[in-house]
Chain A
Amino acid sequence: GENVEQHPSTLSVQEGDSAVIKCTYSDSASNYFPWYKQELGKRPQLIIDIRSNVGEKKDQRIAVTLNKTAKHFSLHITETQPEDSAVYFCAAMGRTGGFKTIFGAGTRLFVKA
């Protein structure tokens, strides 16, 4: 079936450094790629998304890049702050055989002050 692989599973950075999380998807027909942040004990919340007709999108310290040929997309967080510590999930909206949403397994980001 369709799947999304996410790496790394854990990431530890120093405050002020950049963090990069990478995802690869299998359904070449996927057209929507959101990123969600989940703080401890809370529900996931969207932080940024990108559609298949765009290669890059930026929102302040957060950016997402998409390489459709390689079926690869990445989340970039610059100038990390302790409040960025959370679990981050990538997802891909599949279009083959239905309209499922496939999530990656998550990346736990620690930002050390």
Chain B
Amino acid sequence: EAQVTQNPRYLITVTGKKLTVTCSQNMNHEYMSWYRQDPGLGLRQIYYSMNVEVTDKGDVPEGYKVSRKEKRNFPLILESPSPNQTSLYFCASSSGVEGNTEAFFGQGTRLTVV
């Protein structure tokens, strides 16, 4: 089954404790993205990647890191999480290298930073 898988689904952590949210897709898609979703603000792109070893900042990259060592995986790293990073996070992938095709979203990760 074609899918985008994120882990974990729920995470509660403390300020400053490094964490990684994993994302994997099995559709051989080039373009992958991370978004955060906050009430009233819609989906805001954090980082995107157009291919292996090619990543670029979205609209809200501060406090986040990503890597794309393999085509299927695109982990999101929070080196020193803060309470304002409490949010619902979605990973997504698209077939076009420029991302201009349907985005398939993961199940979401609800992160709480206390």
Which A residues form the contact surface with B (CB < 8 A)?
1, 6, 9, 31-32, 34, 36, 43-46, 49, 51, 89, 91, 93, 95, 98-106
Instruction: Tell me whether A100 and B48 are in contact in the complex, defined as CB-CB below 8 angstroms, given that A43-B108, A44-B105, A93-B100 are known contacts.
Output: yes
Q: How many Å lie between the Cα of A59 and that of B102 in the bound state?
A: 15
Name the residue in B33, B40, B99 with the highest tally of chain A Cβ atoms < 10 Å from its Cβ.
B99
B102 touching A34 by the CB < 8 A rule?
A: yes
How many residues on chain B are close to A (CB under 8 Å)? 26
- Given A9, A31, A43, A89, which contacts B100 in the complex, CB threshold below 8 Å? A31
Q: A31-B100, A98-B56, A99-B100 known; 20 other A-B pairs, CB under 8 Å?
A: A1-B59, A36-B103, A43-B105, A44-B90, A44-B103, A44-B105, A45-B105, A46-B102, A46-B103, A51-B100, A89-B42, A91-B43, A93-B98, A93-B100, A98-B57, A99-B50, A99-B56, A100-B56, A101-B33, A104-B42
- Given B43, B45, B58, B98, which contacts A44 in the complex, CB threshold below 8 Å? B43
B42 touching A106 by the CB < 8 A rule?
A: yes
Instruction: Tell me whether A43 and B102 are in contact in the complex, defined as CB-CB below 8 angstroms, given that A89-B43, A103-B42 are known contacts.
Output: no
B59 touching A100 by the CB < 8 A rule?
A: yes
Shortest beta-carbon distance from B35 to chain A in Å? 8
Q: Which residues of B have CB within 8 Å of A91? A: 43
Question: How many pairs of A and B residues are in contact by the CB < 8 Å rule?
Answer: 63
Q: In the complex, what residue of chain B is closest to A107 when comparing beta carbons?
A: B42
Which B residues form the contact surface with A (CB < 8 A)?
31, 33, 35, 40-45, 48, 50, 56-59, 90, 98-103, 105-108
Q: How many Å lie between the Cα of A34 and that of B106 in the bound state?
A: 17
- Given A95, A101, A106, which contacts B45 in the complex, CB threshold below 8 Å? A101
